[in-house]
Chains A and B, each alone.
Chain A
Amino acid sequence: MTTMDTRPTGPPDEPEEPTNRPPSMHRVRNWLKRPYAKGIVGLTILLGILLLPVAWLILIPMQATGAPASEIMEGIEQTVFVFTLVSVPIVAFVYAVLVYSLLKWRKYKGDQIPKDESPAIRTNTVGVVLWTAMSSVLAFFLVVWGLIELAQITSNSYGTISADQQPGDEQSVIVNVTGQQWVWTFEYPQHDGVTTEVLYLPKDRPVYFNVTSKDVIHNFWLVELGVKIDANPGAITQTGVTPNKLGSFNLRCAELCGMHHAYMETSVEVVEGETFESVMREMGGGRTA
């Protein structure tokens, strides 16, 4: 006895109004009646429901240390969430075929070459067209979403503003970040060039970073704020952020920079604007700009 799908035993169902329906619809109806079609569609739905929570679960570790603390990080988490949702149906379908195949189409064991052959399906126009169309639409959606989101975070991190055009107004804060093996130094040019080894940032005020390195490539990563840019020797890279959450966050080097790369981390203190100014004054930096 085989576990292969047997053909439906009954006669093909009688259409009520045969002339009004295109035969292709009957092909779909007929297809859905096949046991394996039902099985795979059902399994896809089941696995889809089982996989759906991943979209939320994946955010738990990302938020473990207090993220999101900026609009940039909110955008990143939203993108992860949406991409997971979009991927679930595809993964569910592919896994459904794998599972169904293992459950129902597994037939022969041992060393004997099977006598029976499977149906010779060399291609299936409907299947191929559907798959291509679906994957193209999904890829298109991901690209469009990604481009819009990229434009968004570029503007949120002031990525298009070059160093000489950064506003020196009351509201904004400029920080010159220098990486060297294996410490970070933060210089606040608007506050008499105060330098610190802990990054102090005011909440709800735009911060502009000019990032460079003294020796090798480092990567300036404000984990919970979603800011990341390489610190290159011989070049200055710009980025920025507007922190929107008070707290103590992590700054790690995310580019291998030699022996003590693992220890090249410090903390980011996001404080109220007034506290920030007083911290700066304590360190000897009145606001000059």
Chain B
Amino acid sequence: MSTETITQTATVFGDEVPQPKQYGKPGGIMRRLNMGTALIGGIGLAAIAGFVANALVPAGASTITFAPVAPDIVYLAILVGWTIGFSAGIGAFVGPIRWLFGRDLTHADAEYMAGKDLGVKRYFKFTTDHKVVGVQYLVVFAFILGFGGLLAMLIRTELGVTWSEVFSPAFYNSMIGTHGIAMIIAMIISVMGPIANFIMPIMIGARDMAFPRLNALSLWLVVVAALCLVSTLFTGGIQDGWSVYQPLASQGPPAMLGYQMTIIVFAISTGVASVNLMVTALTMRAKGMTWSRTPIFVYGIFGAALMGLYAFPFFQYSQIMALTDRIWNTSFFNPLQGGSVWLYENLFWLLGHPEVYVIIIPGTVVLFELMPVFMRKPLFSFNFAVAGIVGVVALSGLVWAHHMYMTGWAPAANYPFMLSTEMISIPVGFLVLVVIGTMWRGLVWTRLPIMAVYAVIFNKMIGGVTGIYLSDVPVDQYMHGTMFVVAHFHYMLMGAGLFGAMAGLAFYFPKMTGRVLDERTASIGFWTAFTGFQITFMAMFVAGLQGMPRRVLQFDSLFNAPNWISTIGAYIIGLGMLIFAGAVVSSWISGDKAPSNPFGSKSLEWQTPTPVPLENFAVLPVVTEKPYNYGVPDPYEKELQEVDQDLHPEEVGTR
């Protein structure tokens, strides 16, 4: 850049920084763009694309299977139009276009985009401040979770009413598929979205994420994907489970395109968010924050992001291939034309299993982060916690075919996949050891977050042990495709994942919202949900052991009793979740103002004022000690040394 353009400077934290030319007011066109323009852009472009596609498709055209062509083409055009229109309307393309014109952001532009002085409006814009993105993620997570939860209630209603069909089979199947994928998306963003975005940069002493605009992009792409998913309910529904196995999916209504678009967009969002989180963790840590001084949460988020980064493309490609199979008559997965159903299953589960750890690892490390605070002692064996995360990440990509033991794809491969799957119990065991060790002799300050840890570990043991059954091929030969599997993964993803995320939310609530959480009401909600959870899924284990297949809407009267119990439990979960949500919302609106460090934590994120100012730190912190520096010297240890001293004075020094 030639020197003449640098005509002005801005003062950034006391330094004079040369600035590029300022075009118009700070923020430029971003001043006019918000969620309203995004919705107008999305719906408008979707409508235009739909009309154009409808006009271009020859009237009465049909595919080789005599299905009409128009609905698929028009729906795909609408989805693409919605995605591009919404992204343009929110301002996702403004950055690259400015860049093409050579218009660099000035400091004033960047501050506007970070939401300076915008008040509540900043939550409805393409705001780059990581704290705003974190709160936006929390709201989006809550909406998707509520949507999935509502479907879960309807599914359990159908299964509880054993004497007749409440819903049509087609609608029931769509509820199952939509519940599945909605909950998977919700759980993936449960900790990685709100807590990692809001807390991690402050925790490592950074002023923002490494790529703030990509951060905003990842959030708004989740919104785009979520609405693509909702649209499937009006175009026939995802009737094939969340795994949408081929060739069943190719028979499906146009809604399958909605699923494929959801995944394609969500995978971009995850990829962008993963890179952002990883680069932030690698490069943005404060001075003095060596790897041994980095909080374990950062390791966990880094590991989860790494898994997401390599696993999601498999899923995305599988859906792109399924989309071309459907629209352009390629035949990747169509056995009648030389495709392979096993190819789809492999691609799907190459994501499908790592994704489980993408959910579980952040849900676990957030517990590691809060346990030392409420136990007033250091994290037990930091090295083992890191080793556990590394082990899980390393093995996560080597176990996918345990979902395919019974497919007949490669019976001989069952041996190595059983080996790798059972091996993963060792690093997971490390993570349990860290929890047990941190709990060991720790005086408990009984606040909601720490009490939730007990619930999570209780569930995780049940989920883990049933996982060992399922990892074993002979047992899986009975359990595969039954309600036992459903109960198992709910124990992991909900019992450990969601309850862990709720613990994390309760812990970081004062920092994120500036309000004190009404822990009394929230605890009532939490433990109601926990009780309902045990009832629902214990009964479901029994139904599975009796031989009830999953994804059915009518069944043998043998399974009636466990399903009735399960449905009652599900309503209790729903009630508990509503109470919890009510406590969160009412505290957020009208709770007491929170002090900056209500739990007496020693981590960096709690040393900032509440609400956290824009850019977090006026002066960047320097880290001088290990994390979790709580506790007093162990009285027993001293005594043991005295005993040894008395016995073997000559050996004590060598130990």
Contact = CB atoms under 8 A, between A and B. Distances in A.
A12 B454 contact: no
Interface residues of A, number: 104
Contact of B173 (A118, A235, A253, A259): A259
A101 B408 CA distance: 47
B549 A221 contact: yes
A283 interface: no
Interface in A76-131: 76, 79-80, 83-84, 87, 90-91, 94-95, 97-98, 101-102, 105-109, 111, 113-114, 116-124, 127-128, 131
Contacts of B468: 83, 87, 142
8 contacts: A12-B639, A94-B436, A94-B457, A108-B443, A108-B445, A108-B446, A146-B472, A261-B552
B542 to A, nearest CB: 5
Given A123-B383, A256-B240, A256-B245, A106 B446 contact: yes
A152 to B, nearest CB: 8
Contact of B545 (A12, A61, A72, A108): A61
A154 B173 CA distance: 34
A196 interface: no
Contacts of B340: 234
B408 A235 contact: yes
Contacts of B642: 12
A190 to B, nearest CB: 23
A31 B234 CA distance: 65
A128 B248 contact: no
B477 A98 contact: no
B377 interface: yes
B317 to A, nearest CB: 20
B593 to A, nearest CB: 13
A194 interface: no
Contact of A64 (B482, B546, B553, B600): B546
Interface size class of B (residues with CB under 8 A): 35 or more
A26 B545 CA distance: 48
B630 interface: yes
A260 B430 CA distance: 44
B336 A142 contact: no
A219 B478 CA distance: 12
Contact of B419 (A143, A211, A250): A143
Contacts of B475: 76, 79-80, 83
B26 interface: no
A86 to B, nearest CB: 9
Contact of B598 (A111, A215, A260): A111
A160 B341 CA distance: 22
Q: Is the interface of A mostly helix, strand, loop or mixed?
A: mixed
Given A111-B598, A114-B376, A139-B422, 8 more contacts: A64-B546, A117-B632, A147-B418, A150-B474, A223-B547, A226-B477, A233-B341, A256-B173
Contacts of B169: 259-260, 262
Interface of A: 2, 4-5, 7, 12, 15, 18, 21, 23, 26-27, 30, 34, 36, 58, 61-62, 64-65, 72-73, 75-76, 79-80, 83-84, 87, 90-91, 94-95, 97-98, 101-102, 105-109, 111, 113-114, 116-124, 127-128, 131-132, 135-136, 138-139, 142-143, 146-147, 149-150, 152-154, 159-160, 211, 215-217, 219, 221, 223-224, 226-230, 232-235, 237-238, 250, 252-263
A277 B418 CA distance: 40
A113 B597 CA distance: 10
B481 A119 contact: no
Contacts of A223: 478, 547
Given A76-B478, A261-B551, A120 B634 contact: yes
A254 B630 contact: no
B119 interface: no
Interface string B437-467: 1011111111000000010011001100100
B456 to A, nearest CB: 10
A-B residue pairs, 6 tightest by C-beta: A234-B335, A120-B631, A237-B408, A254-B481, A113-B600, A262-B552
Contacts of A7: 635-636, 639
A116 B443 contact: yes
- Residue with the highest number of chain B CB atoms closer than 10 Å, among A72, A122, A139, A232: A122
Interface in B593-646: 598-600, 630-637, 639-640, 642-644, 646
A261 to B, nearest CB: 6
Given A83-B468, A256-B173, A23 B651 contact: yes
Interface in B23-54: none
Interface stretch (B191-199, B349-357, B554-562): B554-562
B531 interface: no
B489 interface: no
Contact of A254 (B380, B408, B482, B636): B482
Contacts of B398: none
A264 to B, nearest CB: 9
Interface string B540-583: 00100111011111111010000000000000000000000000
B423 interface: yes
A202 B651 CA distance: 73
Contacts of A215: 247, 251
B444 A75 contact: no
A5 B550 CA distance: 49
Contact of B473 (A62, A150, A257): A150
B370 to A, nearest CB: 14
B107 interface: no
A95 B464 CA distance: 13
A168 B637 CA distance: 74
A200 to B, nearest CB: 20
Interface string B395-413: 0000000000011100100
A98 to B, nearest CB: 5
Contact of A230 (B376, B408, B545, B636): B408
B147 interface: no
Contacts of A84: 465
A253 B554 CA distance: 13
B478 A228 contact: yes
A118 B245 contact: no
Contacts of B527: none
Nearest to B428: A135
B643 A12 contact: yes
